[in-house]
Amino acid sequence: MADIAIRTRALTKTFPPKKRRLLEVVRREPKKPAFTALAGVDLDVERGELFGLLGPNGAGKTTLVKILSTLLLPTEGEATVSGLDVRRDAEEVRKRVGVVLGGDRALYWRLTARENLWYFSQLYDMPGAKAKKEIERVLAQVGLTDRADDRVENYSKGMKQRLHIARGLLTDPEILLLDEPTIGLDPHAGRSLRALVRKLVDEDHRTVILTTHYMYEADELSDRIGVLHKGKIIALDTSAGLKARYAKEKALVVRVKGDPAAAEAILRGEGDVRRVEGGLRLAGDLPQERISDIAARLAKAGVPLLGLQMEEPSLEDVFVALTGEGLVDAPPEGDDE
Ligand SMILES: Nc1ncnc2c1ncn2[C@@H]1O[C@H](COP(=O)(O)OP(=O)(O)O)[C@@H](O)[C@H]1O
Ligand SMILES: [Mg+2]
Helix axis angle, 288-300 to 261-268, nearest 10°: 140
Q: What is the pLDDT of residues 267-278, one digit of tens each?
A: 998 888 988 878
Distance 88 CA to ligand 1 centre (A): 24
Distance 58 CA to ligand 1 centre (A): 6
Is residue 212 within 6 Å of ligand 1 at its C-beta?
Answer: no
Domains of the chain: 4-244 (3.40.50.300), 249-312 (3.30.70.980)
In sequence order, the 6+-apart residues with CB closer than 8 A to the CB of 25 are none
How far is it, in rounded angstroms, from Cα 135 to Cα 74?
33
- pLDDT at position 330 is 41
State which of 13, 32, 35 you would mutate to test the pocket of ligand 1, scoring each by most atoms of that ligand within 8 A of its C-beta.
35
**pLDDT one digit per residue (tens) for the chain, 337 residues:** 579 999 999 999 999 888 888 898 899 988 888 899 999 999 999 999 999 999 999 999 999 999 999 999 999 999 999 999 999 999 999 999 999 996 657 899 999 999 999 999 999 999 999 999 999 999 999 999 999 999 999 999 999 999 999 999 999 999 999 999 999 899 999 999 999 999 999 999 999 999 999 999 999 999 999 999 999 999 999 999 999 999 888 899 999 998 889 899 999 988 889 888 788 999 889 999 999 999 999 999 999 999 999 998 889 889 988 988 765 544 443 333 3
Is residue 15 within 6 Å of ligand 1 at its C-beta?
Answer: yes
Distance 213 CA to ligand 2 centre (A): 9
Ligand 1 atom with least separation from CA of 35: 5
DSSP 8-class letter at 295: H
φ and ψ at residue 219, rounded to 5 degrees: -65, -50
Nearest CA to ligand 1 atom 12: 37
C-beta atoms surrounding 113 within 10 Å: 27
Q: Where are the alpha helices (DSSP H) in 143-183?
A: 157-169
Distance 318 CA to ligand 2 centre (A): 21
Residue 31, SS3? Answer: coil
Ligand 1 atom with least separation from CA of 179: 21
**Among candidates 202, 213, 212, 127, which has minimal Cα distance to 170?**
127
**Among candidates 251, 300, 257, 246, which has minimal Cα distance to 271?**
251
**C-alpha R_g of the chain:** 23
Nearest CA to ligand 1 atom 2: 15
Residues with a beta carbon under 5 angstroms from ion ligand 2: 61-62
- pLDDT at position 332 is 41
- pLDDT at position 320 is 87
How far is it, in rounded angstroms, from Cα 140 to Cα 88?
35
Is residue 60 within 6 Å of ligand 1 at its C-beta?
Answer: yes
Is residue 55 within 6 Å of ligand 1 at its C-beta?
Answer: yes
Is residue 102 within 6 Å of ligand 1 at its C-beta?
Answer: no
Ligand 1 atom with least separation from CA of 66: 17
Residue 201, SS3? Answer: helix
Identify the nearest ligand to the CA of 227 by its number: 1
In sequence order, the 6+-apart residues with CB closer than 8 A to the CB of 63 are 13, 37, 38, 72
Nearest CA to ligand 1 atom 26: 58
